[in-house]
Amino acid sequence: MLPLILLLCLEIVLRIVLEVRERRLTQLRGGVFAVLRVIPLVNDIVPLPENRKEAPESKFVKLHEEGHKVLHHSILRNLMKVAFWMVAVWFMAAMMVRWNASFIEAVLWLHLAAIPFRMLFHFYCWSQEYECDRYALEKTDKKVAKAALRELAACEIPYTALFALVYREHPTAMLRSEKILKKKMVTTALR
């Protein structure tokens, strides 16, 4: 029980550090969601708003979405989720049967064990997003891509790369721009 409590305290501290870093770098207030994100288990379900306004449907965005369909991305993502839940059930059973953990303890251990896997999953989702950006770039050109990503960046709530990796299935428009155009976007928004 003690290691579990220590790890949960460590999680809270690390998440507070991440929030403080985020507030400092983005100069945006976190609001009530920032407080909820610090609480173990609650942070698994608290929503993360992504946009401040609806992004326009540009030609680039349409081709990007076409890329997801052509490359069967949603099936692959769902297969990974199913695999994760199967491992999670096995993990819970093992905790409770072999290690005599209570249900709550098992849930908390699962919550902790899932953190790195969630980041890996996000990393995988990001690679899909980059793949679709390349798909859309091949069918348009750099000028179209640059303009579209600039528009998306303007609609998006700015997050740092580290924060996005912990919480988001989408890389920021800034990261996408850097990835496919191989250069940094010149805006006042953060990296």
* Piece of the chain touching Zn ion by CB under 5 A; list 87-95, 98-106, 127-135, 160-168: 127-135
Q: Give helix then strand counts, H and E, for the chain.
A: 8, 0
* Piece of the chain touching Zn ion by CB under 5 A; list 102-110, 113-121, 122-130, 144-152: 122-130
The interaxial angle of helices 103-139 and 59-70, nearest 10 deg, is 120
Smallest separation, CB 162 to Zn ion (Å): 21
Q: Is 123 exposed, middle or buried (0-12, 13-18, 19+ CB in 10 A)?
A: exposed
Nearer to Zn ion, 25 or 80 (CB): 80
DSSP string across 99-162: S---HHHHHHHHHHHHHHHHHHHHHHHHHHHHHHHHHHHHHS-HHHHHHHHHHHHHHBPP--HH
Nearer to Zn ion, 73 or 111 (CB): 73
Smallest separation, CB 53 to Zn ion (Å): 18
Is residue 47 a contact partner of residue 31, using CB atoms and an 8 Å limit? no
* Piece of the chain touching Zn ion by CB under 5 A; list 38-46, 123-131, 143-151, 159-167: 123-131
Check binding of 156 to Zn ion (CB under 5 A). no
Nearer to Zn ion, 5 or 70 (CB): 70
Binding residue for Zn ion, selected from 18, 95, 101, 129, defined by CB under 5 A: 129
Nearer to Zn ion, 126 or 163 (CB): 126
